[in-house]
Amino acid sequence: MKMKKAILVATFGGIFIAFSASPSLAACSIGNNYQALGGLKGWNTRIENSENAALRTGYANGTCILIKGAHTGGTIPANALDSLHVTVAPKSGATACHVFRKKSTASPTDGFPTTC
C-alpha cells in the first residue's frame, strides 16, 4: 500500500511540476506601492499595444510593473483621447510610462499613445 501511495505522489508531483514550470503569461505585476484609483479594467490591452517598444516587451515578458491605475492629469500626447491614463514601468527600476486611450480617429494599427 505504501508503494502505491509513493507512486501516486511521484506521478502527481511530476504533473504539478510540469504545469508550474510553464512560462509566465504576458501581463504586468502590481507594484508594491500600487495606487488603484480608477482601476485597470481595459488597460491591459492598451499596455500590450503601447507605442513604446520597451513597454510592449515588458508586457510580453511579464516584467512590467503597474504603478497607478486609471487617473487624469499631465500632458496629453497626440492621438490621446484625453488625459485619462495608467502609469506603468517596463520593468523594475525602469522609467515610468503613461499609457493613454487613443482617439477614435487614430488608425487601428497605431499603438496606444504613451509617454515615458
- The pLDDT value recorded for residue 10 is 43
Q: Is residue 85 part of a domain?
A: yes
Q: Is residue 12 part of a domain?
A: no
CB-based contact 28:88 (threshold 8 Å): yes
- The pLDDT value recorded for residue 38 is 96
Reported as a single tens digit per residue, the pLDDT across 67-113 is 999 999 999 999 999 999 999 999 999 999 999 999 999 999 999 99
Q: Is residue 16 part of a domain?
A: no
Reported as a single tens digit per residue, the pLDDT across 53-77 is 999 999 999 999 999 999 999 999 9
Q: How far apart are CA 95 and CA 56, in angstroms?
A: 14
- The pLDDT value recorded for residue 24 is 52
Instruction: Identify the domain containing residue 79 by its residue range.
Output: 25-115
How many folded domains does the chain comprise?
A: 1
Q: Is residue 81 part of a domain?
A: yes
Q: Is residue 1 part of a domain?
A: no
Q: What is the mean pLDDT of residues 14-40?
A: 71
Q: Is residue 82 part of a domain?
A: yes
> pLDDT higher for 19 or 85?
85
**Banded pLDDT at 26 (limits 50, 70, 90):** confident
Q: How many helices (H) and strands (E) does the chain have?
A: 3, 5
Q: Is residue 61 part of a domain?
A: yes
Which DSSP symbol is given to 77?
P
Q: Is residue 33 part of a domain?
A: yes
The reply to whether the predicted model has a pTM over 0.85 is no
Q: How far apart are CA 74 and CA 116, in angstroms?
A: 12
